[in-house]
Homo-oligomer: A and B are copies of this chain.
Amino acid sequence: MSRDDPDPTELATVTELAKRRGFYFQTAEAYGGVGGFFTYGPQGAALKRNVEDAWRDRFVTRAGHMEVSAPDVMPEPVFEASGHLDGFDDMIVECPDCDASHRADHLVEDDSEYEDAEALGLDRVADLLGDLDLTCPECGASLADEPVEEFNLMFETDIGPGSAQSGYLRPETAQGIFAEFPRLKQYAREQLPFGVAQIGAAYRNEIAPRRGLVRVRAFTQAELEHFVHPEKDDPPLDAVADVELPLYSATAQEGDGSVETKTVREAVDDGTIESPWIAYYLGVARDWYAAIGVDMDRFRYRQHLSGERAHYAADCWDAETEVDGDWIEVTGFAYRSDYDLANHAAHSEESFTVFEQYDEPKTVERASVDPDMATLGPEYGGAAGDIADALERLAERDPDAFDAETVAVDADGETYAVDAEVANFSVEAVTKAGEHVTPHVVEPSFGIGRLFYTVLAHSHREDEVDGEARTYLELPAELAPTFACVAPLVTDAPLVERAEAVREELRAAGFAVDYDDSGSIGRRYRRQDEVGTPVCVTIDHETVEQSDHDAATVTLRDRDTTAQARVPVPDLVEHLTALRAGTDFADLLDREGVHEV
């Protein structure tokens, strides 16, 4: 499961840089920290937001979907309906000596051949703790006779004073969409298909948070719930038909472990991907990952094994990235069928369907009965009413049953043979304007923190410039937390004054601009390289001494190549806008007024 040449220090390198330069760090370190909670520092908050904006642009704005924002806390009935209250559990075992809590299934997996111990069930895992002689990783005490229990992963809180209502921090943003479907469908004017997205916090009270941003207790999800007609809606597959997908199918996982590359079209045609909707999103997402800087040589789509798949999900694939030798799930793609909407419909009084109007009203036959109670009563006594109800249901389900002379119906656990004539069976023609449809849900669910972590790791570069080692982040310009750093070559008053004016102009134009006048210019370039700033703008003596003050030139320096160009100040905003939109630095040199240095 790890690449050929894992870099054992990748996690350590990223963590150190993240802490030192303000990408992320453990929350409340001054108070000893708190497991599984991280704070995004200035560079990290900007990078994370830029990843979110890139997601919004691709999966909401371009697609014409809706985006909503629900609160992080939702009341208990929502999670009763969703199944989280009952089923959102991990297996916990507590050490009898030191009281430390552990994931029992993980302990078993670490010390055996089992890859998915949770599927074995509580009792078997408890037995295995003894059979495998497992001990507490903290203190070494035996766990052989300790009970294994379910631990619900939702954070609970009380809403309001007194006899309070229970609320939970949402374990996924999706329920904030499903629970509001009765209103959301109005905004879509009941026209399928339509998509509703949400970017926001979700929470899982992990028993053992670990691996930095990978297994945390508070995280950010970007989820799209695409509501589609179960029979009539097809994805626009042509748009992504030729996108190549590195597919790690269930068959391959159980067989030779090979990742096969197929186009979206091929994978649908040969049945590797069952749902065309899922295939469509794997294609869209593949190009998006590449655009935000995920290394496509350290990326794959892994199909869920049949045992691993949620019972409602027809086809599930995860996008996985490799960091530090581990494969991380960064996105789940699931065809959730009508599972969620049907659950909410069953638990509430609202309608979770859309009304699909026919082009023309249709005349349909409707079978019904009108049982003769004057006959049924004397014959069946107290069971007569239930038999009448059973006849009614039977007429709807199987009108042909009334063709015979006697009809067999089940009521109160017994079978009765009823004279068909007594049922007064009839078929009438009725006009229907349309029908109620429970949409199916196609869900791509992105973990923003894990993607952020992947992008940070995959963009990390080391090279040598002028004989000196240097570190830089090769982030796409659109994602860079700081877009440009303005620096006066030296801190002489005229240079500083001009540099400050340039800084203000660029900030007013909406660029995230740093200003740095401390240390040698080489040192300042290195500082910016390390946080992935694409461009440095240097004001030097030439800038302030040029006779045409307004058209004076400054030096632009490119992060990746360290190439430099001189550019007139009045054209700066235009050139930087082009660079941010993806123009190559080398192509700047072809533009009017730009000169190589």
Interfacial residues, chain A to chain B (CB-CB below 8 A):
19-22, 25, 27-32, 34-42, 44-46, 48-49, 57, 61-64, 66-75, 77-78, 81, 92, 94, 99-101, 151, 155-163, 165, 167, 169, 176, 179-180, 182-184, 186-187, 189, 196, 201, 203, 205-207, 217-218, 344, 347-350, 503, 507-508, 510-515, 518
A556 to B389, CA, bound (A): 61
| CB pair B161 A72 closer than 8 Å | no
CB-CB < 8 A to A176: which residues of B?
A: 27, 39
Count copies of this chain in the complex: 2
In the assembled complex, the CB of A410 is this many whole angstroms from the nearest CB of chain B, namely: 34
In the assembled complex, the CB of A519 is this many whole angstroms from the nearest CB of chain B, namely: 10
Measured CB to CB, the nearest residue on chain B to A155 is: B157
CB-CB < 8 A to A19: which residues of B?
A: 183
Measured CB to CB, the nearest residue on chain B to A156 is: B157
Measured CB to CB, the nearest residue on chain B to A90 is: B161
Contact A179 B68, CB 8 Å, known A37-B73, A163-B99: no
In the assembled complex, the CB of A160 is this many whole angstroms from the nearest CB of chain B, namely: 7
A34 to B66, CA, bound (A): 23
A218 to B73, CA, bound (A): 8
In the assembled complex, the CB of A198 is this many whole angstroms from the nearest CB of chain B, namely: 8
A199 to B372, CA, bound (A): 69
Contact of A67 among B46, B92, B94, B348 (CB under 8 A): B46
| CB pair B218 A62 closer than 8 Å | no
CB-CB < 8 A to A77: which residues of B?
A: 28, 31-32
In the assembled complex, the CB of A538 is this many whole angstroms from the nearest CB of chain B, namely: 18
| CB pair B218 A61 closer than 8 Å | no
Q: Point out which of A71, A179, A196 has the most chain B C-beta atoms below 10 A from its C-beta.
A: A71
Measured CB to CB, the nearest residue on chain B to A74 is: B28
| CB pair B180 A348 closer than 8 Å | no
| CB pair B57 A510 closer than 8 Å | yes
Contact A41 B71, CB 8 Å, known A30-B344, A77-B28, A155-B158: no
| CB pair A187 B42 closer than 8 Å | yes
| CB pair B29 A183 closer than 8 Å | yes
Known: A61-B512, A73-B169. 9 other contacts (CB 8 A): A28-B75, A29-B182, A32-B77, A36-B160, A41-B68, A63-B507, A73-B203, A92-B161, A101-B162
CB-CB < 8 A to A39: which residues of B?
A: 68-71, 176, 180
A40 to B511, CA, bound (A): 29
| CB pair A159 B217 closer than 8 Å | yes
